[in-house]
Amino acid sequence: MAAVDAEAIRELLERAFPEAEQVSVEDRTGTGDHFQVTVASASFDGLSLIDQHRRVNDALAEPLGDGSIHELRIRTKTKGRA
Amino acid sequence: MKTLNEQISEVIEREPVALFMKGTPQMVMCGNSQRALSALRAVGAPVTTVDILPDPRIRQELQAISGWPTIPQVFVKGELVGGADITEELFESGELQRKVDDALGAEREPDVRAVALELA
């Protein structure tokens, strides 16, 4: 499967979370298929952890679905939480 | 024979704690599956594991049922808890322990067993 670069992942996340205080993407292995993403957004306030992660997964549905992301680690932060 | 979808649904509904993973507890094939398994073991949860690797249809059917795109997936009493990151985060905050205690009671046998699905 085609690898995807961290910048493309970041763009997808920034489009899905325009209000986010932080969007960071780390290519963990340098191979364009193992990513650590962190999203800090007030829109997560009041959502359960699983619903926060669902929103991140939904934003990245395309690269997840076509197999270009092999591994995705997610860290979400609500506004009140570092 | 039951369909894969039916078999997966049964595991989710019947098993107190179900872990869909890559490999088996004896031979874990992915670091994230290991992270989820370790967190569940650390809270003394009985874990029933299903290896998704033998057939790609297992993963497809599971994803259709849960709406969750990645492996591993942890279910407690039929409810999706999440993947490795959430399971680990809930373990670190103590919430995984509470969740498992609430769902299963403090008295439980922390067995880990693997079940295999029947493939057509």
Q: How far is CA B76 from the centre of its chain?
A: 8
Kindly report the CA angle at B78 between B74 and B26, in degrees rounded to 5?
Answer: 40
Q: Which residues contact B119 (CB under 8 A, 6 or more apart)?
A: B4, B54, B55, B57
Nearest CA of chain A to the CA of B110: how many Å? 25
Q: How many residue contacts between A and B have a Cβ separation below 8 Å?
A: 30
Report pLDDT for A80. Answer: 66
> Which tokens sit at B108?
């439980």
Domain membership of residue A1 (yes or no) is no
| Backbone region of residue B95 per phi and psi (left: phi > 0; alpha: psi in -120 to 50; beta: other values) | alpha
Phi and psi at B40, nearest 5°, equal: -65, -40
Task: Calculate mean pLDDT across residues A26-37.
Answer: 93
* Residue A82 lies inside a defined structural domain of this protein: no
Q: Which of chain B's residues have a Cβ under 8 Å away from the Cβ of A72?
A: 70
Which two tokens mark A31? 């191979």
CATH number for the domain that contains residue A29: 3.30.300.90
Count other Cβ atoms within 10 Å, centred on residue A65.
11
Inter-chain touch A53–B69, beta carbons under 8 Å: no
**Alpha-carbon dihedral A19, B86, B78, B116, rounded to 10 degrees:** 130
At residue B109, the pLDDT reads: 83
> B4-115 domain in CATH 3.40.30.10?
yes
Q: Which bin fits B48, alpha (ψ -120 to 50), beta or left (φ > 0)?
A: beta
Residue B70 touches partner A, C-beta closer than 8 Å = yes
Domain count along chain A: 1
Cβ of B86 within 8 Å of Cβ of A50? The answer is yes
Contact B82 A64 (CB under 8 A): no
> What residue numbers bound the domain in which A43 lies?
6-77
What pLDDT shows up at residue A4? 84
Per the CB < 8 A criterion, the answer to whether B91 and B99 are in contact is: no
ipTM: 0.88
What is the per-residue DSSP string for B56-89? Answer: HHHHHHHHHHH---SS-EEEETTEEEESHHHHHH
Higher pLDDT, B97 or A3: B97
Q: Which of B67, B70, B89 sits opposite A72 (nearest CB)?
A: B70
Q: Å from A51 to nearest chain B CA? A: 9
Handedness of CA B97, B62, B31, A9 (dihedral sign): negative
Q: Cβ–Cβ of A50/B89 closer than 8 Å?
A: no
* Token pair for A23: 């969007």
Q: Which residues in B lie closer than 8 A to residue A49 (C-beta atoms)?
A: 82, 86, 89-90
In a domain, A65, yes or no: yes
Query: What pLDDT, in 10s, does the model give residues B13-48?
Result: 999 999 999 999 999 999 999 999 999 999 999 999
Summarised one tens digit per residue, pLDDT across range A39-69 is 999 999 999 999 999 999 999 999 999 989 9
The pLDDT value given to residue A81: 57
Residues 6 or more apart from B111 whose CB is under 8 A from it? Answer: B46, B47
Q: What is the pLDDT of residues B90-115, one digit of tens each?
A: 999 999 999 999 999 888 888 899 99
Q: Which residue has the higher pLDDT, A77 or A3?
A: A77
